[in-house]
Amino acid sequence: MKQASVLVCGTGIAGLACALGLSRAGLSVDLLGPRQMPPVRPADDYHPRVYAISDTSRALLDRLGAWRLIHAHRITPVEAMEIHGDANGFLDLSAWQDARDTLAWIVESGEIERALQQAVQVMGVAWHEDQFTGLETKGQGVCVMTASGRCWQPDLLIGADGARSPVRQAAQIHHDYTPYGDMGVVAHLDIERPHQNRACQWFTGDSVFALLPLPDTADGPQASLVWSMPENRARRWLAMDAEAQQAYLFAHALAITGGRLGRLRLRTRPQGFPLTLERTAMVAPGVALVGDAAHRVHPLAGQGLNLGLGDVQTLIQVLSDREPHRAIGDLQVLARYRRRRAEPVWAMGAVTHGLHRLFGTQCASLAWARNQGMQLADRLPFLKRQLIRAAAGD
Ligand SMILES: Cc1cc2nc3c(=O)[nH]c(=O)nc-3n(C[C@H](O)[C@H](O)[C@H](O)COP(=O)(O)OP(=O)(O)OC[C@H]3O[C@@H](n4cnc5c(N)ncnc54)[C@H](O)[C@@H]3O)c2cc1C
């Protein structure tokens, strides 16, 4: 029987993981998109983008043979999270409270990409450095056009082409888009006090200031900052010269963190990303979306990529479990994928959006309730275990 063919468009983490997983599941896979192997960085130089990887995502990367290709000394386990409200609210989530060692792992984007690219190479997945330009429906299937003038007729086209997804647009897949009016600004910082593998987050009312632990370097301990703040303020900060950027951080960070990790200094230049809540119908005949092409959530829970890797895992499962008479692009098969992703994607969007609104409101009674709610949650071991399991991606 002819092997079913898949074309994965997009060579970010979701696309690479998808191509690798489907190839390992026995499908004939081609990858379409730019190819740039992230360089191996010197010991104390860290890629500016890092992700909190959940246990479920780590397990997927492990099954794909990629986790073991990431240098162990560049992976930072998160053993506890402390979340500070804007008044006296405080929540401490420690791995031991749910009888586990780790809540998540902080890993550089470049390291994950490099490991996945190596695994894709070992698997012999054909990689075409070309660009998706359009789509035509042909009978039951699709015809995919690329910038080089090539036309592909895969049994299934997967759009893993990021938040602006040209595949989603060409396949006319329904897409809801809500801008937050905020930017997520990321940078690595020198910290004075050891982080002790704790992730710390402060809700300040109009911003969320998060510090993720990174490995210590010869210059001392460091953490990665993710600061979600109103877009106009973020743009002003990003436009400043290096000295003014340091002064801005110094002026605000001490007030927000109360000196929790001592004095904070920028190690890398801050980079900003506009924040949106996006939801899509995820499938069309012969087409499925994964990763940011399929959804985007606020980064305050550090779960966007984990959600995308959840798509990859589910899509592999659904395609592998289909009845032998069904084609992989059959809308009935793809609808199963959409149904199975609907609840986790909706829930993550609802939780992150709800928290963003709850902590953004000026209403005094809600401000009181959110901080009391945190204090109450901190005293309820059962609820804390549920929160820990959600953070771990269980
Ligand atoms: C501030 C911030 C912090 C975050 N922190 C976390 C975190 O801690 N944990 C977490 O899980 N998530 C986090 N996220 C979310 C995470 O960044 C994204 O979910 C993830 O990067 C999406 O990966 P992706 O592979 O779906 O898309 P992308 O990384 O955008 O990849 C898309 C790929 O498609 C390619 N492409 C685009 N157009 C075409 C075309 N026409 N033809 C061919 N290829 C094309 C691009 O070149 C690229 O390779 C964070 C997000 C932000 C903004």
State pLDDT tens for residues 332-346. Answer: 999 999 999 999 999
Whether 228 is in a domain gets the answer no
What confidence category does residue 80 fall into, taking pLDDT thresholds of 50, 70 and 90? very high
In angstroms, the CA 370 to CA 141 distance is: 51
Alpha helices in the chain (DSSP H): 13-24, 55-63, 109-123, 166-170, 231-239, 242-257, 304-321, 331-360, 364-378, 381-392
What confidence category does residue 358 fall into, taking pLDDT thresholds of 50, 70 and 90? confident
Please state, rounded to an integer, the average pLDDT across all residues of the chain.
93
Whether 29 is in a domain gets the answer yes
Distance from the CA of 200 to the center of ligand 1, in angstroms? 24
Q: CA-based angle 163:393:164, to the nearest 5?
A: 0
Give, using CA atoms, the residue closest to atom 48 of ligand 1: 12
Q: Which domain holds residue 299?
A: 5-49+109-177+276-359
Distance from the CA of 98 to the center of ligand 1, in angstroms? 31
Q: What does the pLDDT average to over 114-133?
A: 97
What confidence category does residue 374 fall into, taking pLDDT thresholds of 50, 70 and 90? confident
Whether 97 is in a domain gets the answer no
CATH code, domain with 317: 3.50.50.60
Return left, alpha or beta for 364; rule: phi > 0 is left, psi -120 to 50 is alpha, else beta: alpha
Q: What's the one-letter identity of residue 278?
A: E
* Pocket mutation for ligand 1, best pick of 51, 105, 228 (most atoms within 8 Å of C-beta): 51
**Burial class, 163, CB count within 10 angstroms (exposed 0-12 / middle 13-18 / buried 19+):** middle
As given in the structure block, the two tokens for residue 343 are 């609840």
Task: Name residues contacting ligand 1 (CB within 6 A).
Answer: 9-15, 32-34, 51-52, 131-132, 160-162, 166, 184, 186, 226, 273, 291-292, 299, 302-306, 308
Residue 95: phi and psi, rounded to 5, are -55, -40
% the chain with pLDDT above 90: 78
Whether 329 is in a domain gets the answer yes
In angstroms, the CA 28 to CA 19 distance is: 9
Q: What is the pLDDT of residues 166-202, one digit of tens each?
A: 999 999 999 999 999 999 999 999 999 999 999 999 9
- For the CA of 290, the closest atom of ligand 1 is 26
CB distance 11 to 114 below 8 Å: no
Give, using CA atoms, the residue closest to atom 53 of ligand 1: 273
pLDDT of residue 1: 58
As given in the structure block, the two tokens for residue 326 are 């069904």
Identify any residues that bridge with 226 across adjacent strands, giving them in sequence order: 186, 210
Question: Count of H helices and E strands in the chain?
Answer: 10, 21
C-alpha distances in Å from residue 353, one per residue of 75, 349, 369 = 29, 6, 17
In angstroms, the CA 91 to CA 170 distance is: 45
Whether 237 is in a domain gets the answer no
Whether 214 is in a domain gets the answer no
Reported for 312-319, long-range contacts at CB under 8 A and 24+ positions apart, including other chains, are 312/14, 312/17, 312/18, 312/21, 312/60, 313/21, 313/56, 313/60, 314/340, 314/341, 315/18, 315/22, 315/158, 315/288, 315/290, 316/18, 316/21, 316/22, 316/25, 319/22, 319/25, 319/27, 319/156
Q: What is the pLDDT of residues 275-327, one digit of tens each?
A: 999 999 999 999 999 999 999 999 988 899 999 999 999 999 999 999 999 99
Give how many domains the chain has, as a whole number: 1
